[in-house]
Amino acid sequence: MDQLLEQLTNGLAVGSIYALIALGYTMVYGVLKLINFAHGDLFTYGAYLGLTLLTSLLAHDRMGLGLRLLLLAVMVMGLVAVIGVVVERAAYRPLRDSPRLSAVVSALGASIFLQNALMLLYGARYQVYPDVLPQNAVRLGDLSIPVVRIAVVAVSVVMMTVLYLFVQKTRIGTAIRAAAIDQGAARLMGIDVNKVVVLVFVIGPALGGAAGLLVGLYYGQIGFTMGWTYGMKAFTAAILGGIGNIPGAMVGGLLLGVIEALGAAYLSVAWKDALAFAVLILILIVRPSGLLGERVAEKV
Amino acid sequence: MKKSIAALALGLVSLAARADNVKIGLLAPITGSWASEGQEMKKNVELLVDEVNAKGGVAGKQVQLVIEDDGGERRGARVAAQRLATQGVVAVVGTYGSAVTEATQNIFDEAGIVQVANGSTAVRLTEKGLKNFLRTCPRDDEQGRVGAALLEKMGAKKIALLHDSSAYSKGLADEINALLKAKKMNVVFFDALTPKEQDYSAILTRLKAAGPDVVFFTGYYPEAGLLLKQKKQMGWKVPFIGGDAINNPDLVKIAGKEAAEGFLFLSPPVPKDLDTPEAKAYVASYQKKYGEAPQSIYGVLAGDGFRVVAASIEATKSTSGEKIRAGLGALKDFPGFTGKIAFNAKGDRIGELYRVYKVDANGNFVLQK
């Protein structure tokens, strides 16, 4: 029983990171019907930029730690968003009217370019974040949960909620949903679809960058290829929840994390990934559009 | 006429000089991805050749060192080995990587040249029955024995073994597992993690539920660092042990000093911990010549390889491959820099080279006596 509860918290922590990254895949797919393979690398850029900026921010001890971390998060999200927009302009927009395959190949190319550029800039060795977050744990009976883990889940949930409300309740959010349903009709209604696309490439990478920063602060060790593993898992989470669907990405991410943790707990540690992907296959056989893929009419 | 006589005389002189030389080859990755190891091998052996020649050489002859670069890859090694064989070397020291060494084994064996490898630890190299192959480094299965012995010495009642599914890591874990089973020791956990992930909390929770006294992780340092860090975050205090792939200072950077403190791992000794008087004197003379102490144990093992070959030539007063091999087989308790050296019939080194290291509070790797 104790192990079950502890494994659930383990799974929720990993799952909330998957969910944050999955949002980037799902939003781009919703609007452009394109799988942005470079998204995992934008996540890695978030982690590396976070490390670089954190090092210089730590030198300024006049600000409190909380304020510095907030500033760090804003800067990282802004910078990764800029990179996201540049990738869209350079690699996707020129191919908007080309066959789907060209755009997918271009996305893969962008991913390879970004990953190798990072390796050349920072070197192939693992980089390590300084320990800035408290390392203590909260005790609940026999269960001990690191404070940082609670913070990671809380930060992810807050960001996902804000995004959900933004897309559902604001005029700009409505424009994004309209462009996702039918770009031509949206244009006729006076919506600038190009602006919507740029906005999607601001929000998705910003969230991915924030996830990278969280991973760096939480786990400490980052490598230039880490976007591949996380990207694949997050992409799976997006499909699990129904690609193109924002609540679906959140549910899919958390679910994938929990399935992995429970697989490691009760099956075999070595088989946890196999189990997670077996569940994905089963769900897709039963519900080809993913868990929440059909229930919501508008796809964003 | 005068000229040709002079030329003839010169030829005779150089011929005489040649007859007095003993050619010994060094095969090393001077370039390529293991270049730092190869260059250190070269420095070690060159220094020792100079020392031997200054004392009058071996069996009254000066040693001429012939260095060939294998580039750390098989094709380069094959060409380099053939070049060495045609230049009339009587024995070869090297090389570093197991697969690279394997590519050269048959070339030297067929030419009747004794080969003493310094860094190739794969078990199969000495299981082929090649007469002329020996090595100064330990074999991968020795690490399993030392690991199992350490677990027994610690008095562990419940042992967890964790590997990462790679050939090296799984092989080491299997080796230890088999030895522990033979001694009827209780292995409560045997499983693999996925390398290059970042969150190992699910595995640690599962491990914790199995209730081991000690966990042996046979993988590499990036995963070991994360395991130690996350173990500390969980507030779990069980000791962790690792294999020689963890011997990297980055371990402490990743885990943090507090989480890494007390971690034990097996490794051949680092050069600064070589404790015989010969080794200390050697490290000092190396420092004097190159301005820094030797960094890699494999460079020093190449030096030991050269020294046993020289000792064998000295003892047998012969430069035939067969005699040198017999001389090497007859060595007993040769005072090598890395401990006493003797070889078994397969050409493997007898005796244990692996030591136990512990991470102290400052993140230094301290040799355990």
The residues spanned by each domain of chain A are 2-128+141-286
Among A1, A10, A20, A222, which would you mutate to test the B interface (most chain B Cβ atoms within 10 Å of its Cβ)? A10
If you average pLDDT over residues A240-254, what whole number do you get? 91
pLDDT range class, residue B220, cuts 50, 70, 90: confident
Question: What pLDDT is recorded for position B19?
Answer: 56
Distance CA B114, CA B135 (A): 11
Spatial contact of A11 and A261, defined as CB atoms under 8 Å apart: yes
Is the pLDDT assigned to residue A62 strictly greater than 50? Answer: yes
Confidence class for position B352, pLDDT limits 50, 70, 90 = confident
Average pLDDT, chain A: 90
C-alpha B131/C-alpha B144 separation (Å) is 26
- Tell which wins on pLDDT, A50 or A2: A50
pLDDT (tens digit per residue) in B246-299: 888 789 988 999 999 999 999 888 888 888 888 999 999 999 999 988 888 899
Query: Would you state the pLDDT for residue A299?
Result: 47
**How far is it between the farthest Cα atoms of chain B?**
94
Q: What is the DSSP string of A57-111?
A: HTT-TTS-HHHHHHHHHHHHHHHHHHHHHHHIIIIIGGGTTS-HHHHHHHHHHHH
Residue A131 in this model has a pLDDT that exceeds 90: no
CA dihedral in degrees (B323, B324, B329, B332; nearest 10)?
120
Percent with pLDDT over 90 in chain A: 63
Nearest to B235 among A131, A144, A272 (CB): A144
pLDDT, tens digit, for every residue of B108-143?
Answer: 999 999 999 998 888 889 999 999 999 999 888 889
**Nearest-5° Cα angle at B368, B365 to B369:** 150
Cα–Cα distance measured from residue A257 to residue A7, given in angstroms and rounded to the nearest whole number: 10
How confident is residue B13, by pLDDT bands cut at 50, 70 and 90?
Answer: very low
User: In this complex, which of A126, A269, A273 lies closest to B250 when CB atoms are compared?
Assistant: A126
Do β-strands B334-336 and B339-341 pair in parallel, antiparallel, or remain unpaired?
antiparallel
Which residues from B are below 8 Å from A264, CB to CB?
A: 202-203, 205-206
- Same fold for the domain at B2-138+274-341 and the one at B141-267? yes
Tell me which of B32 and B312 has the higher pLDDT. B312
**A153-174 average pLDDT score:** 94
- A-B C-beta contacts closer than 8 Å: 89
Q: What mean pLDDT comes out for the span B182-208?
A: 92
Residues of chain B positioned with their CB less than 8 A from the CB of A13: 199, 201
Question: What's the confidence (pLDDT) of residue A125?
Answer: 77
Among residues B353, B217, B183, which one has the least CA distance to residue B273? B353
ipTM strictly over 0.95? no
Give residue B7's pLDDT band: very low, low, confident or very high (50, 70, 90): low
In terms of DSSP bridges, do strands B21-28 and B91-93 run parallel, antiparallel, or are they unpaired? parallel
Q: Is B5 left (phi over 0), alpha (psi -120 to 50) or beta?
A: alpha
Question: What pLDDT score does B195 carry?
Answer: 85
Share of chain B above pLDDT 70, in %: 95
Q: Which fold has domain B2-138+274-341?
A: Rossmann fold (3.40.50)
Q: How confident is the model at residue A279 (pLDDT cuts 50, 70, 90)?
A: confident
Nearest by CB to residue B192, choosing from A13, A126, A270, is A270
What are the tens digits of pLDDT across the range A169-227?
999 999 999 999 889 999 999 999 999 999 999 999 999 999 999 999 999 999 998 99
Instruction: Pick A7's closest partner by Cβ from B205, B230, B235.
Output: B205
Residue among A3, A125, A126 whose CB faces B209 most closely: A3
Per-residue pLDDT at B179: 94
Place of tokens 């990405």: A249
Identify the band that residue A86 occupies on the pLDDT scale cut at 50, 70 and 90: very high
Indicate whether B17 pLDDT > 60. no
Spell out the residues 6+ positions from residue B369 whose beta carbon is closer than 8 angstroms to its own. Answer: none
Mutate to test the interface with B, among A147, A219, A275 (most CBs of B within 10 A): A219
- Across chain B, mean pLDDT equals 89
Kindly indicate the confidence band of residue B18, based on its pLDDT and cuts at 50, 70 and 90. Answer: low
What residues have CB less than 8 Å from A258, skipping those under 6 apart? Answer: A8, A11, A12, A15
Q: What pLDDT is attached to residue A115?
A: 93
Identify which has the larger pLDDT, A209 or B8: A209
pLDDT (tens digit, 9 = 90+) per residue, B73-87?
Answer: 899 999 999 999 999
DSSP tag of A123: -
Substitution target in B190, B194, B198 with the highest count of A β-carbons within 10 Å is B198
pLDDT at res. B93: 97
Question: How do the domains of chain B map onto residue ranges?
Answer: 2-138+274-341, 141-267
pLDDT band per the 50, 70, 90 thresholds, residue A294: low
In angstroms, the separation between the Cα of residue A167 and the nearest Cα of chain B is 31
Q: Does domain A2-128+141-286 have CATH number 1.10.10?
A: no
> Sorting pLDDT into bands at 50, 70 and 90, what band is A87?
very high
Q: Residue range A284-295: average pLDDT?
A: 80
Q: Which residue has the tokens 């799974």?
A: A11
- Homologous superfamily (CATH) of B141-267 is Response regulator (3.40.50.2300)
Mean pLDDT calculated for residue range A275-296: 81
**Cβ–Cβ contact A221 with B under 8 A:** yes
The per-residue pLDDT for B6 is 54
Question: pLDDT digit string (tens) for A7-30?
Answer: 999 999 999 999 999 999 999 999
Bigger pLDDT: B305 or A2?
A: B305
Q: What is the dihedral of CA B48, B50, B56, B58, to 10 degrees?
A: 40
Please state the rounded mean pLDDT for residues B330-346.
Answer: 91
Total residues belonging to chain B: 369
Rounded to 10 deg, the angle between the A65-87 and A39-57 helix axes is 140
**CA triplet B303, B308, B310: central angle to 5 degrees?**
95
Contacts of B226 in chain A (CB under 8 A): 219-221
Residue of B nearest to A267 (CA): B206
pLDDT computed for residue B5 by the predictor: 55
CA gap B136, B11 in Å, rounded = 39
pTM (2 d.p.): 0.79
Separation of alpha carbons B13 and B190, rounded Å: 68
Distance (Å, rounded) from C-alpha A204 to C-alpha A244?
12
Tell me which of A82 and B233 has the higher pLDDT.
Answer: A82
Helix (H) or strand (E) holding B214: strand B214-217
- Chain B CA closest to residue A133: B233
- In this prediction, residues A108-119 reach a mean pLDDT of 94
Q: Which residues in chain A are contacts of B222 at CB distance < 8 A? A: 126, 221, 223
**Residue A277 in this model has a pLDDT that exceeds 90:** no
Q: Which of B194, B250, B256 sits opposite A273 (nearest CB)?
A: B194
Q: Are B176 and B144 in contact (CB under 8 A)?
A: yes
- pLDDT bracket for residue A271 (50, 70, 90): confident
Quote the minimal CA–CA distance from B236 to chain A in Å. Answer: 10
SS3 B189: strand
Percent of chain A with pLDDT over 70: 97
